[in-house]
Chain A
Amino acid sequence: MYTKEVEDHLANPRNAGELIEPSGTGDVVNQVCNDRIRLTLHIVDGVITDAKFKASGCPPTVAAASVLTTLIIGQEIERAAQLSRNDVIAALVRLPPAKIHSAVLAIEALQGALDCINNREEVSGAKK
């Protein structure tokens, strides 16, 4: 039913946890199934130097959050801001159609974290 990438991220989540004094935090819940992703970022000079996630929900939601951290660590925030659900899905190879919203949730968590940085207007290079 799920790809081995989804299963692997579920069994061995990458960058699980929560950063202390994050530069930005995105915390989003899917109102339909209650799946939740909380993403914390450290930004230094416009680059995401570290990211950690917490997630609850079905295997694709945990996997999407986990794989997302691997896609954004080391990225400039402008590049990270352009990531889409399809990048998350591609990194997991495939998601069942009913589970696409797991990838959407991961992207929303990222946008939430980046918005939170922009709103603070204290990080250089964080213009929109």
Chain B
Amino acid sequence: MTASMKVYLDNSATTLVAPEVIESMLPYFSGDIGNASSVHSFGQRAKAAVETARRQIAELIKAAPSEIVFVSGGTEADNLAIRGIAEAHSATGRHIITSAIEHPAVLATCEALESSGFRVTYAPVSSAGVVDPQQIREAIKDDTILVSIMQANNEIGTVQPLEEIGRFVRERRRAGASNLHFHTDAVQSAGKIPIDVDDLGVDLLSLTAHKFHGPKGAGALYVKKGTRLGKLFYGGHHERDRRPGTENVPGIVGLGRAADLAAQELSERSDRMRGLRNYLEDSLKQRLTDMKINGDGAPRLPNVSNVSFAGVDGESVLINLDLKGIAVSTGAACSSGSLEPSHVLKALALTKEEIRGSVRFSLGAFTTQAEIDYAIAVTVEAVKRLRELAPAAEESARASL
């Protein structure tokens, strides 16, 4: 435990690029520089590298390589899935179902569609942060063309019951709703929990490299064979006509290699992260009173811990930790330049105070025991100090403003 230790516990925001991934990308910046559409040998080597990455991504989620479309990241994958379905199927229906705790890449896209005449149902979640599959089933109407539910939430890490929702979608399709589609944003879960697109029953799945030790700006959308999808961009015939533009070859290669590593080390990485995460939570609970683990009691990703410390401000904890070299995030009000508290924590029906005191610790595949020990010590000290600094609740205060 050293004062100069740097501890990155914000892996839900982004992760470091694994050394093997960097290594795999380097040749495509200067040696193998071809455009994957070119006929010469440079182009063909680039093309071969892109196709290897396509197989690696397909393997990670148990899809066919031809079902993988490379895009610029999670945001584009979500936009392409939702807008693509909306555009291609609006003649048969204009209703979309999603959840209240989606990432803005999904929510804002749905809101934009609402202003062009689509109806959107935002399914609520339980206080543990999970959607109720029965509610989704009941929300499906004759004009529903898309159900979009994230696989795991980015703030609290809760894993959603996709298999069950997938069964209801299939059931409905067998009963004639041939235009009903199922999309999941698997940006947080890909590479952390096993994924099989057929078991989940999804037609579309979004992922992005930078959440599992790959580079920023490279992602993929799985599009089940035979799915009709509109386009976001117009241009050449890349990616089977689904996404024009010269491929980001180094990024795609890095995405593929990161997926390959994640697939190989999946259980080892997740066991390690879960062990450290549970140790973090148990240690904090032992040493601090009045704290609550958000999403506890629901299935959760192995690497995320969202904790509410009563009586303190999450951002004050964050800055105290940052000054000691530890990076975390908070869903508290007044943070990140926004006066709005997190829509996810609001959807969990937390009290204002619980939202205020929330801090997210998110681990990566490279997080160590020593780092967690340091984070525990610094967090306990910061929370205790902030609580001591607070005026006693029983003293009365005069309202300002």
Contacts and interface: CB of A to CB of B under 8 A. Distances in A.
Interface in A31-83: 31-38, 54-59, 62
A112 B323 contact: no
User: How would you classify the secondary structure of chain A's contact residues: helix, strand, loop or mixed?
Assistant: mixed
Given A36-B391, A56-B312, A105 B400 contact: yes
Contact of A27 (B312, B316, B320, B391): B391
A32 B339 CA distance: 10
Given A29-B400, A31-B401, A56-B390, A98 B339 contact: yes
Given A31-B400, A38-B397, A56-B313, A96 B389 contact: no
B290 interface: no
A47 B396 CA distance: 26
A19 B332 CA distance: 31
Contacts, number: 85
Interface residues of A, number: 35
Interface stretch (A8-16, A85-93, A120-128): A8-16
B65 interface: no
B389 A56 contact: yes
A58 B334 contact: yes
A38 B313 contact: no
A2 B335 CA distance: 11
A59 B319 contact: yes
5 contacts: A27-B396, A28-B400, A54-B389, A98-B339, A104-B400
Given A16-B388, A56-B390, 5 more contacts: A10-B316, A27-B391, A33-B333, A56-B391, A112-B398
Interface of A: 1-2, 7, 10-11, 13, 16, 26-38, 54-59, 62, 96, 98-99, 101, 104-105, 108, 112
Interface of B: 311-313, 315-316, 319-320, 323, 332-335, 337, 339, 352-353, 356, 386, 388-392, 395-401
